[in-house]
Structure 1
Amino acid sequence: MPTDIVENTESHTQELSSQERDRLCRLHDSYKPVWLTETIQLGPLLPSDKDSLLEYLNDPRIYQYLYGPPCPYKPEDADFWINGRIHRMTKAGSPTNFCLRDMARGGKAIGSVGVSDASDDDLSGDDTGYWLAPDYHGQGLMAKALKMMLRKVSIDEVGKRKFNSHVFEDNWASRKTLEKAGFVYQPDIKRENVKDGKVINMWVFRLYLSDEDIAKQDIIAEATPLPSLA
């Protein structure tokens, strides 16, 4: 599956005053979550998610299909990713990385989906990234989360119309997720990455939308939570 690419945010962080950093953190962390299902929310990455990041990004069932996070994934890696969250926001203040949280398990983060505010003129990188805890696979959660956040943030807020994503070759589950979200496999575009010293062939997917396409899209309605979780 595609994943969030760890970027170097340290230099940007040092340029901010402590007051500005605190303001941006509050803005990011106060983003209102949305209900994906009756028990699962999509919300901003929070400092309290550190334990989940350490648990799942060290799980070989997840790591084998991720390009970017180090392995082993250490506490300082989680701190770096969480502390850099304010640099993964749109100009309007919306996060571009969201956690899936199982509210029936106390809000435990069980996955992540990242969308893009990058220019349509540059399709060299991944516009989407995601991972999901193995116990939640096969339920259609990630395709729904991806479509919801693409529409809510990238399409409606940013005005983005072109998207690019890469998947490890033979990762059929991730391919199915992207295709459910409207992405189309590009057999004529070849890409390779190096992971753990091995060359990995990548599938390339693209999603191009016109304003007419967007007008015809069905809006994914927010779910109604269980009364005990509302």
Structure 2
Amino acid sequence: MPLFYSPTGEPYITLPSPHDNIILTPPRTIPNPNGIDAEPLIPEADLSAITTNLNDPRIYLFLEGPPVPYTRDDGIAFTRMIAAEATRILQAAQAEKFVEGCPFHDIRILPDEGEDRIQRAEKIGDISFSRKAFFEIPPDSPERAAAEKENEERKAGDEEIKWTMGYWLTPAHHGKGIMAAALSTLIREWVVPRMNAKVIIGSAFAENRASVQVMRKCGFIHDEKVIEKGSRELIEARGGGRKDIVVIKWRRND
């Protein structure tokens, strides 16, 4: 599936039918009227989508990373960071065979019509890839720190890099197969050909069967350690207590 460009020059990927009304784009920013040296602005519709969803218990209770509550400032800072990273990746992709990461974070749904429908596509989710993948090793342990350090020091394109991913989708679009289509499309169209990924390690709370099912649909299988019993201690804002996690892995078949 080719990479497309909107009239404004924004690259995007279209999901295959029956989800061809869904596109994947880099994070969007708006030039700051205070000058080229000022931090870019975030579209209000995107910022609203981010803060609304990451403060929804149907989403945040199944995530480990984002702060709770998730503030407007959190959304601005994070989007600026990943937008700058996406720009660097896209620039590198013009000259390098393999690049450090995937620039397509935003999952968007197209309006029914209009010449500017790409620009008006509504953000309904997010998906990201990173090198922090060692869920089977206890957090904050020397073993995990050493594994992450070794993984981080590998150069872009090294097949030995262990990748992971994170994602969320607005609850109104749960159960439609969108996330599985987005994940499998990115793996096929970018993560393998442009990152040379060979191993992707995912995890989910054991109770989050929907997320595990998404990964299974995309070819992930359970690792040797299926469930890490009580390995995650949650803050009170996420319900407190300890939860089991499922570790699940994808391998490229050469």
The two structures have a TM-score, normalised by structure 2, of: 0.64
In the alignment of these two chains, the number of paired residues is 181
Give 3-state SS (helix, strand or coil) of 2:111's partner.
helix
2:201 counterpart of 1:194:
no
Show the counterpart of 1:226.
Answer: none
Give 3-state SS (helix, strand or coil) of 2:64's partner.
coil
What CA RMSD, in Å, does the superposition of the two structures yield over aligned residues?
A: 2.4
Letter in 2 for 1:43: T
TM superposition shift of 1:108: 1.6
- Give runs of ≥4 in structure 1 deviating > 4 Å: 116-120
TM superposition shift of 1:99: 1.1
**Where does 1:174-189 land on structure 2 (aligned, <5 Å)?**
174-188=211-225
Q: For 1:156 and 1:208, how far apart are their aligned partners in 2?
A: 14
Q: For 1:145 and 1:87, how far apart are their aligned partners in 2?
A: 20
TM superposition shift of 1:187: 4.9
The two structures have a TM-score, normalised by structure 1, of: 0.70
Show the counterpart of 2:85.
Answer: 87
Show the counterpart of 1:26.
Answer: none
- Looking at secondary structure, tell me which structure has more helix per residue: 1
Show the counterpart of 2:58.
Answer: 61
Show the counterpart of 1:112.
Answer: 126
Show the counterpart of 2:108.
Answer: 101
Gaps of 5+ in 1: 1-28, 212-230
2:133 counterpart of 1:154:
no
Give 3-state SS (helix, strand or coil) of 1:55's partner.
helix
Q: 1:95 to 1:50 in 2, by over 3 A?
A: farther
TM superposition shift of 1:50: 1.2
Q: For 1:162 and 1:83, how far apart are their aligned partners in 2?
A: 28
Give 3-state SS (helix, strand or coil) of 1:167's partner.
strand
Q: Name which structure has the greater RCO, CA cutoff 8 Å, separation 6+.
A: 1
Q: 1:206 to 1:95 in 2, by over 3 A?
A: closer
Give 3-state SS (helix, strand or coil) of 2:233's partner.
strand
State, as a whole percentage, how many aligned pairs show the same letter. Answer: 26
Give 3-state SS (helix, strand or coil) of 1:73's partner.
coil
1:22-74, Cα deviation, whole Å (9 max, x unpaired):
xxxxxxx9541122223221111112221110111111111111110011100
Gaps of 5+ in 2: 1-7, 29-41, 94-98, 113-119, 132-151, 153-157
Show the counterpart of 2:248.
Answer: 205
**Where does 1:121-132 land on structure 2 (aligned, <5 Å)?**
121-123=160-162, 127-132=164-169
